[in-house]
A and B are shown apart, each in its own frame.
Chain A
Amino acid sequence: MAHRWGMTVDLDRCTGCGACVTACHAENNIAVVGDAQAAKSRAMHWIRVERYWEGDFPDVRLKFRPVMCQQCDAAPCEPVCPTYASHHTEEGLNAQVYNRCIGTRYCANACPYNVRFFDFYNPQWPKPLHLQLNPDVSVREVGVMEKCTFCVQRISAAEIDAKAEKRELKDGEITPACVQSCSAKALVFGDLNDPESEVSRLSRSTRGAKLLEELGTLPKVTYLARQTQV
């Protein structure tokens, strides 16, 4: 049976520390755009930590929510792409083929989660910063749309290894960079088609909810609500 990759984000564990944000940059060769471009909202963070303030001081609450591509089953970004750069893989990922992308940015307009980022310039890595680039991930050039891939390079590597060793993938064998770095273990990744996997078990939690579920996008990321002890 094909895999169907999904993630759960336990908002009760998440402390908003931001390790996932930097880990994603390190893994996926995401460009640092610099202050001038960042001021034009061109900073690229495939995963971000959103914050929601409630109430007034002193009865104030702050909730964090890490948001990355929700890998929708009915993804609004896919049908709008004229070149099929944005498409659905057999394993349910919303993939982006950089070679096909002509930079219409229709997909970014269509995405309700604001998780697609456009390369306005060629990325700069003043030497020797370029030595850190991950050889498993292509570097995107100007005019291309990019987004979270669930670290598809890590998924493929694990699948190839398992195939070579003639075995099934184990649950927890694949960890995207954000999941691996999360010290509070708020993020869990795995196969939603395996009812026994941890991500399936957590997705069925009564605390679970999808982001902007009412839009009918059928996201594969489940948020587990934060609880409060009174």
Chain B
Amino acid sequence: MDRRDFIRLTAVTGTSVTLASCGNPEHQLIRFVPDDDLVPGVAEFKPSVCPLCRAGCGLSVRVMEADVETVRNGQSGVVKMGVAKKLEGDAKHPISRGGLCPRGQAAIQITYHPDRLTHPMKRTGARGTGEYKEVTWDEAIAELAGQLIALADARDQKSLALLARPRRSRRLELFAEFLARFGAPAPVGFELFAEDVLRRANARSFGHEQLPTFDLARAKYVIAFGADFLGTWNSPVSQNAGYGEMRQGRQVHGGSRAKFVHVEPRMSLTAASADEFVPAKPGTEGVLALGLGHIIIRNKLRSADAAGRAGAAIDGWSAGLADYTPENVEKITGVAALRIERLAHELVEFRPSVAIIGGAPLAHTNGLFNALAVNALNALLGSVGEPGGMFFTPSLQPPASGPGFSAASHPPSQAAPASAGQTQPLVASLQSSKVLLIDDANPVFASPKAWKVREALDRIPFIVSFGSFLDDTSIHADLILPDHSFLETWVDSMPESGALEAVTTVAGPAMKPLHNTRSTPDVVIELAGKLKSPVALPWKSYEEMLKAPATSHPPSQAAPASAGQASHQPPVTSHQYQEPHFDGDAAAFPFHFLPYASQAFLDGSAAHLPWLQEMPDPLTSAMWSSWIEINPRTAERLGLALGDLVDVTSSQGTLRAPIVISPGIAPDVVAMPVGQGHETFTRYASKRGVNPIEILSPLTEAETGALAWAATRVKITRAGDGDGRLIMFAGEMRENPFEGRRQEK
């Protein structure tokens, strides 16, 4: 053996020894050099913003060191890095003030969800089958750029549409800016519980097209019409904080406790906390408010003139609301005349008093009237802009820091009023687009079947989703460019309500990305730079945009005018009471059907989080389930027991679910939480329960065109004994002592 052979031989054996020592690659433990500077066992706290609803609660994220499996340059291994461990409300944030809601607590599971999309994907199977192959970011962005270049070449830029969840944020401004420079229409906002009717009403009554903020901590008397303000509505965490103050231990009014009256046909989580529960017939809330106003004006407790513009929006206001005598109001609302008299006197006696309206009363065909009536009552009570009353959170960025999107559930304020049966703006936008970008919206789940959103999607040649999960809508996407989770990227929020001062929250990443995902605003910036005709955005990154002074980049001319500016205030027109219309006649469909935002899942967008699936619903203790709430007497009449299956039938279809007997619901109303019934939404929510939105009639609020989701009537028929799918935390022990000895599931 010569020297050369020797070296060759040792090289070969050396290699084989190395290979043998590696053995099964699953047992390899390659440790990458950590690039976080963390002390083991010591927590750091970093700011962020909760993404789950428009309240925009400020978070304090507990970050600690952990071993994370990762891939670097194609090599998988383990790296020590700082990861989020717990979300708390930021004590110094003007909205969360140190608290959080159950959904905010669970938001951390978005980041660590086992079914999160971890890389860009291109569709390989038929649409809706969920068959995708992994592609690189370069390929994915090039593909999308190619589609947009084709649109531009055909001078068809307006066929690009972006569907987003309506939020006030610079993220949406960035999208709007991109669309405007490209020549596409403004982003379309879509959300089931959008509360656009209330924004429109506030624009008419007060000149502010935004949701209100309530100074509960200093109020002496609160009357709420349907608004679930302690559970899911508007800015629940800040409203809970104010509520705690108004009940106990406050510094104002000699420490006295405020009175709280709640008006709605079903005792919600919020109504449960009320001192007085006033069930009024669905859709008559505005009449009750004007009945209160009638007495206040008639008895000269307050001057009718005090209501100003908000009063002028109501027909017959200056004449003292002659049609709204307690007797007439009793006939319409079902609330006793004497009680109306007493409530009216209390409202004036215990000032500052404030009225709140939200949720179902606005989701009738006469929703705008109901909102205007409550606005007028507030103005009459002198509670607008006064301590203990209602406010409009100011904006840091004039003009109005417009969200820069047109709301899909109603036409823009400047447009002519929508007539019933007119094409929904969401559907119209889908019908006219050839390339659709979807950012955190799920209209397939959250719109009535009659809107045929799925069918509209089928006709769009190219659909791109930025979502982190395959859901009912994104499973129809041709290309998926998954965003970072909110903890892994820059986030910002400009909440429209919840604080008396203007709030803008901007936070950097709390941790490094776990997967091969990219921040969607950064993807849009990169995409803009790749197009042939330069539509490059003025920022190199989203981070740079957030760090730049807000005024240095005024929106381009093509950006949509934001609503709510003084110049767009429509002239005051007065409104008369219109009876609410319901889909289905009372003889064939004897029950009002009331879908409501569930405490765990809101509109269903949080149904994929296992902690929320297993959280017992506060009113029923149900977990992992869908259910229908029925009054005990109604259940007895129909021969129904807890857990029995019923068929709920509207003019639009039938769904089957178990019943929960609820003492707090009117005998002619059945209610159902929204959130379950996803066709596709991760292992925890797919095909679980039923979706009440499916059987909603497409009736709209008469003037704004918003979906009247509380205006459907249904009939109930018993479908059989319970199938065990109603799971409740409360109740008898259901343990089988022999289980496990014979067989274990």
A230: chain B residues within 8 A (beta carbon): 275
How far apart are the CA atoms of A228 and B724 in the complex, in Å? 39
How far apart are the CA atoms of A126 and B115 in the complex, in Å? 9
Chain A 177-220 interface 0/1 with B at a Cβ cutoff of 8 Å (1 = within): 10011111110000000000000000000000000000000000
CB distance from A110 to the nearest CB of B (A): 15
How far apart are the CA atoms of A15 and B724 in the complex, in Å? 30
Q: Which of B257, B269, B514: most chain A Cβ within 10 A?
A: B269
A27: chain B residues within 8 A (beta carbon): 86
CB distance from B724 to the nearest CB of A (A): 6
Give the segment of A45-53, A71-79, A84-92, A163-171 that binds chain B.
A45-53
How far apart are the CA atoms of A185 and B89 in the complex, in Å? 13
Interface residues of B in 57-110 (CB under 8 A from A): 64, 66, 68-69, 83-89, 96-106, 108-109
Known A-B contacts: A15-B270, A128-B69, A229-B260. Give 5 more (CB < 8 A): A22-B612, A48-B729, A62-B619, A181-B88, A185-B241
Judged by DSSP, the binding face of A is: loop
Interface presence of B580 (CB below 8 A): no
Chain B 721-744 interface 0/1 with A at a Cβ cutoff of 8 Å (1 = within): 000100101110111100000000
* Interface pair A12/B247, CB less than 8 Å apart: yes
Interface presence of A1 (CB below 8 A): no
Interface residues of A in 79-114 (CB under 8 A from B): none
CB distance from B219 to the nearest CB of A (A): 12
* Interface pair A134/B85, CB less than 8 Å apart: yes
Q: Which residues of A contact B (CB under 8 A)?
A: 10, 12-13, 15-19, 21-23, 25-27, 32-36, 38-41, 43, 45, 48-51, 53, 55-58, 60-64, 126-135, 177, 180-186, 224, 227-230
Residue of B nearest to A35 (CB): B624
* Interface pair A182/B106, CB less than 8 Å apart: no
A32: chain B residues within 8 A (beta carbon): 610-611, 613-614
A61: chain B residues within 8 A (beta carbon): 272, 277
* Interface pair B100/A183, CB less than 8 Å apart: yes
A186: chain B residues within 8 A (beta carbon): 244
How far apart are the CA atoms of A21 and B688 in the complex, in Å? 22
21 example contacts (A-B, Cβ-Cβ < 8 A) are as follows A22-B611, A25-B105, A35-B623, A35-B688, A38-B614, A40-B734, A48-B616, A57-B664, A58-B666, A60-B267, A62-B272, A62-B663, A126-B683, A128-B514, A132-B83, A180-B89, A183-B96, A183-B98, A183-B237, A183-B241, A184-B99
* Interface pair B514/A43, CB less than 8 Å apart: no
CB distance from B227 to the nearest CB of A (A): 13
How far apart are the CA atoms of A43 and B87 in the complex, in Å? 23
CB distance from B636 to the nearest CB of A (A): 12
B108: chain A residues within 8 A (beta carbon): 26, 132
B187: chain A residues within 8 A (beta carbon): none
Task: Take A22-B106, A51-B621, A127-B114 as given contacts and tell me if A38 and B727 are in contact as well, using a CB distance cutoff of 8 Å.
Answer: yes
Q: Which residues of B contact A (CB under 8 A)?
A: 41, 64, 66, 68-69, 83-89, 96-106, 108-109, 112-114, 230-231, 236-238, 240-241, 243-244, 247-248, 257-260, 267, 269-273, 275, 277, 279, 514, 599-600, 610-616, 618-619, 621, 623-624, 631-633, 663-667, 683, 688, 724, 727, 729-731, 733-736, 745
How far apart are the CA atoms of A83 and B8 in the complex, in Å? 65
* Interface pair B664/A183, CB less than 8 Å apart: no
* Interface pair A55/B614, CB less than 8 Å apart: no
* Interface pair B86/A60, CB less than 8 Å apart: no
* Interface pair B258/A229, CB less than 8 Å apart: yes
* Interface pair A60/B109, CB less than 8 Å apart: no
A63: chain B residues within 8 A (beta carbon): 272
How far apart are the CA atoms of A58 and B96 in the complex, in Å? 34
* Interface pair B616/A132, CB less than 8 Å apart: no
B619: chain A residues within 8 A (beta carbon): 16, 51, 62
* Interface pair B240/A184, CB less than 8 Å apart: yes
* Interface pair A184/B241, CB less than 8 Å apart: yes
A224: chain B residues within 8 A (beta carbon): 248
B624: chain A residues within 8 A (beta carbon): 34-35, 38
Task: Take A12-B247, A13-B244, A22-B612 as given contacts and tell me if A41 and B114 are in contact as well, using a CB distance cutoff of 8 Å.
Answer: no
Partner of A60, one of B247, B614, B664: B664
* Interface pair A21/B102, CB less than 8 Å apart: yes
B275: chain A residues within 8 A (beta carbon): 228-230
* Interface pair B99/A19, CB less than 8 Å apart: yes
How far apart are the CA atoms of A147 and B560 in the complex, in Å? 55
How far apart are the CA atoms of A17 and B724 in the complex, in Å? 26
CB distance from B68 to the nearest CB of A (A): 7
How far apart are the CA atoms of A50 and B618 in the complex, in Å? 8
B615: chain A residues within 8 A (beta carbon): 18, 21-22
How far apart are the CA atoms of A32 and B614 in the complex, in Å? 7
Task: Take A53-B664, A129-B113, A132-B108 as given contacts and tell me if A180 and B614 are in contact as well, using a CB distance cutoff of 8 Å.
Answer: no
How far apart are the CA atoms of A23 and B514 in the complex, in Å? 23
* Interface pair A60/B623, CB less than 8 Å apart: no
A48: chain B residues within 8 A (beta carbon): 616, 729
CB distance from A153 to the nearest CB of B (A): 11
How far apart are the CA atoms of A126 and B237 in the complex, in Å? 30
Task: Take A16-B618, A22-B106, A26-B87 as given contacts and tell me if A56 and B666 are in contact as well, using a CB distance cutoff of 8 Å.
Answer: no
* Interface pair B101/A183, CB less than 8 Å apart: yes
